[in-house]
Amino acid sequence: MKSLPEIYKVGNREFVYDHKSLQYAFSTYRGCTNEEFLENIVDILHFAVYMCWLKEIPSDECLADDGIIHELVHLLQENTIKHSNLENIRKKFNKTLTI
């Protein structure tokens, strides 16, 4: 995992890194019911993108057809939710993005 100071820069913009906030978010998302998980999918996707970057997870593991980001994006589309295995996606989320 990247070692970031509390304030870090990307280009000329500053961002705040807060480990406790990330732990809380992961715990919250992990504890969601399936319905809550889907209701919060945009925030969960944002968290997943940041965690993949922070943990330096290879793009093949994030973006490929079976990557966690790709799987979460499918959950944004109502017509693909019924074809997605939400339980497997959540297991992958918990395993890949643990903090």
Domain chopping of the chain, boundaries = 7-96
Entry pTM: 0.87
- Vertex 12, ends 11 and 16: CA angle to 5°? 90
Taking only the tens place, the pLDDT of each residue in 1-60 is 877 768 888 899 998 899 999 999 999 999 999 999 999 999 999 999 999 999 999 999
Burial of 54 (0-12, 13-18, 19+ CB in 10 A): middle
**For residue 51, what pLDDT is reported?**
96
Contact 29, 40 (CB under 8 A): yes
